[in-house]
């Protein structure tokens, strides 16, 4: 399950892990104009882990999901 919310400066997608145990904490993806952040709470450390991707890195990740193993280079739009 996931939700999409449009806020003032970002689009926020929340991914909820549904299924058989062990379940993972929600993943929150914030889509800003200049970057994407991905956050997930870690109960072991009681902290939120956050990574920041450039828009180009996110495009590469989206393309890579459906490709077989290998090294690729995307042409610029």
CA distance 49 to 26: 12
Would the CA dihedral through 50, 12, 75, 77 be positive or negative? negative
On whether the CB atoms of residues 40 and 34 are closer than 8 A, the answer is no
CA distance 33 to 28: 16
pLDDT digits (tens, 9 = 90+) for 11-69: 999 999 998 888 999 999 999 999 999 999 999 999 999 999 999 999 999 888 888 88
Q: What is the pLDDT of residue 12?
A: 94
Residue 77 has pLDDT above 70, yes or no: no
| Domain extents in the chain | 2-64
Q: What is the pTM of this model?
A: 0.83
């Amino acid at each position: 399950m996931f939700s999409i919310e449009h806020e003032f400066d970002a689009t926020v997608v929340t991914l909820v892990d549904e299924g058989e145990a062990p379940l993972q904490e929600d993943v929150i993806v914030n889509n800003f104009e200049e970057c994407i952040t991905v956050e997930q709470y870690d109960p072991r450390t009681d902290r939120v882990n956050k990574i920041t991707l450039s828009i180009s890195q996110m495009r590469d990740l989206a393309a890579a999901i459906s490709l077989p193993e290998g090294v690729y280079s995307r042409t610029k739009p």
